[in-house]
Structure 1
Amino acid sequence: MSTGRMGKQSDELLRVVVVGGGTGLSVLLRGLKQEEVHITAIVTVADDGGSSGRLREEMDMLPPGDIRNVLTALADTEPLMEKLMQHRFKNGNGLAGHNLGNLLLAAMNEITGDFVSAVKMLSGVLAVRGDVLPASTQSILLKAEMADGSIVEGESQIPLAGKRIRRVFLDPVDAVPLDEALVAIAQADLILIGPGSLYTSILPNLLVKGLYEEIKRSSAQKVYICNVMTQPGETDGYSAADHVDALYDHVGEPFLDTIIVNSAEIPPRVLEKYAEKGATPVFFDFDRLQALNLNIVAKSLVTFEGGYLRHNARVVSKEVVALLPKQKKRMAGNE
């Protein structure tokens, strides 16, 4: 049974469900695992690029990359083990480009015959704090309809198209969510959406048939952690409210209670570095967010690592914990 930072059993802890994928989610989880909460990460399985894409095609398995990043972020291991999990081979016929953590998940998948069991087995090896679940166990292809009406196939190809995205959708459209993910959402005391790539990391989860419906049904507060910078080829020129609008447009209705957004100024030297790649700060449009009836948490939430912006995991995690109910909600049957 998973335990919290101070040794409490998971059934005594407030439960936080985090939905997303990519680097942003992993950064958040590194801070959140230090808090006295039980974490369940529900992770996208639409990745089709790099090592994940190769294993997906050659091994007929779910892409392991985002799962690997989350497992590593939540692991209670020595720094050397983290380096091993994230090590990418530079040489070797057929090995170059692969990530050791991805290969470990592929091996576990072969041993257990089941990807979910593989993730659980590796979670035990890494002493992961919490639960890591794929959004679905079906092979999912992410597609995007662009503003000009063209269709782009593949999560890795969508940002490269250089066109404005009108919507993304799944193939198959009726992909079924993992039952354990639905249970985790139903039991959640707080549901976090993001941070992460809006169209290629977050929305693929919400589009899994039945998963969003369970989020909507939950009485837990629903919180969106907005990205700090726009993503070239995906959210060019987007403000914070534009991100929220895209989420609402895809699920067909408003569903968020709170948005956590960075309000700190970005140093010019950092802006210049990002401008070279076509990225700009996500504009904090307070009035539009207010008009969306959102509780707004606007703070200085960033840190600078090697000239790059990252969410300050500890600061964001403290803001998340402050939004939690004061006590664990009573479950049906215990009232």
Structure 2
Amino acid sequence: MKKQRPSYRMPRAHGPRVTVIGGGHGLSNMLRGLKQYTENLSAVVTVADDGGGSGVLRQDLGMPPPGDIRNCMEALANTEPVMRELLHYRFTEGSLAGQSFGNLFLAALNGISPSFDVAVSRMSEVLAITGRVLPVTTADVQLEAEFENGASVVGESKIFYCKKREDCRIRQVRLIPEHPQALPAAVAAIRDADMIVLGPGSLYTSIIPNLLVGGIVEAIQSSDALKVYVCNVMTQEGETEGYTVSDHISALFKHSVPGLFDLCLTNSSPIPKGVAARYAQEGAELIRCDWEQCARLGVEIVNRPVATVENGFVRHHPGHLARELILLHAERSVRIAGDSFDFRDDTYRVEEDS
């Protein structure tokens, strides 16, 4: 008769320390899932955005762009429905048309705080967020892209249009000024992490800008944490047309160091033909996984069902992606013989053979 397996339940408060690095909607989407499994979350977020409402506030008030940071705080917030609705609200008329209340709220806090990171911390307290959201730097930075034909453009929001015009790949991106100093708390969050997650998000405009900040790559290198890159599901028009998984990995290594991570999580969920056809009309497609080339780069591919289709768009499913990441951490870091994992409510359970 098989022995009963004792179980050990892990409260979210004692979950793994996970530090995620990136920006854009991909990062905030993943955070919504991860907060169901651990409260020990840190999001290190790019501040290179210069478009939309964030760009307007950046130009008018001389503050770092609030948009990506606000999205992450909203994802981690534990507030009443009315407050969530208020944060999402966008003005439709007048000089504030297109601007979100959440951005203005953070701008106001920045006006009464000694620094932008303090303003972010204060807004985090108001929203009672799970974990921490940290700007990667408080320096005023611009993103410059250089293309394979020698053309270049300054401004994150201009890269899409310049790439479409030049019709060639991005050779590299850099920050102006180069190598700004990282926020000390961001470096500490990376060094203290049990798992470091890069992405998902725009390769050149959401993930790589973080790696160009002084101290970030060194902190990742020196960490003993499990390091995972979450690759996008689809190529991105105006940025990564025609890219394979290894192309994404090569770009990340080129802008940091070879071997920055050794695991890459890719999607195995099927995408409906009709949805794929619509993406193809815009020059986007499923990212092909070239396994052998990834292996040559020293990266192991972990293929899991983490994508879904939402309103006709392919997205990472917050719950599925978070579950696979937590499982990866448990499998690769805990390494208890015969483990099985059962996720439910606000705890996860590790069962061990007796």
User: TM-score, normalised to structure 2's length?
Assistant: 0.87
Number of residue pairs matched? Answer: 319
Partner of 1:326: 334
Does the CA contact (< 8 Å) of 1:21 and 1:196 recur in 2? yes
Partner of 2:182: 177
Amino acid at match of 1:270: V
Partner of 1:205: 210
Does the CA contact (< 8 Å) of 2:237 and 2:282 recur in 1? yes
Partner of 2:25: 23
Amino acid at match of 1:230: T
> How far apart, in 1, do the equivalents of 2:220 and 2:319 lie?
25
2:89 to 80, 87, 90: 87
Deviations 1:215-257 (A, max 9, x none): 1111111100000011111100101111001001111422112
Q: Return structure 1 stretches of 4+ with deviation > 6 angstroms.
A: none
Does the CA contact (< 8 Å) of 2:12 and 2:36 recur in 1? no
In the alignment, does 2:304 pair up with 1:299? yes
Partner of 1:68: 70
Structure 1 residues 130-279: aligned runs within 5 Å: 130-161=131-162, 162=164, 163=167, 164-279=169-284
Kindly, what percent of the aligned residue pairs are identical?
47
Does the CA contact (< 8 Å) of 2:20 and 2:196 recur in 1? yes
> How far apart, in 1, do the equivalents of 2:36 and 2:197 lie?
16
> How far apart, in 1, do the equivalents of 2:75 and 2:183 lie?
22
Q: Relative to structure 1, is the Cα distance of residues 7 and 316 closer, same or farther in structure 2, using a 3 angstrom cutoff? A: closer
In the alignment, does 2:129 pair up with 1:124? no
Deviations 1:93-112 (A, max 9, x none): x2112111100000000011
Amino acid at match of 1:210: G
> How far apart, in 2, do the equivalents of 1:98 and 1:112 lie?
21
Question: Which is higher, the Rg of structure 1 or of structure 2?
Answer: 2
CA RMSD across the alignment? 1.5
DSSP 3-state at the match of 2:334 = coil
- Report the CA distance between 1:87 and its aligned residue: 1.7
5+ unaligned residues in a row in structure 1: which ranges? 328-335
Deviations 1:99-142 (A, max 9, x none): 11100000000011321111111111111000000000001100
Partner of 2:50: 48
Q: Which moved more, 1:31-40 or 1:193-202?
A: 31-40
Deviations 1:134-190 (A, max 9, x none): 000001100001111011110111111114210000000031100001111111111
Q: Which moved more, 1:80-89 or 1:315-324?
A: 80-89
DSSP 3-state at the match of 1:76 = coil
> How far apart, in 2, do the equivalents of 1:79 and 1:156 lie?
32
Deviations 1:296-317 (A, max 9, x none): 2101211111111110111111
Does the CA contact (< 8 Å) of 1:262 and 1:284 recur in 2? no
- Report the CA distance between 1:193 and its aligned residue: 0.2
User: TM-score, normalised to structure 1's length?
Assistant: 0.92
5+ unaligned residues in a row in structure 2: which ranges? 1-9, 336-354
Does the CA contact (< 8 Å) of 1:15 and 1:189 recur in 2? yes
Q: Which moved more, 1:270-279 or 1:233-242?
A: 270-279
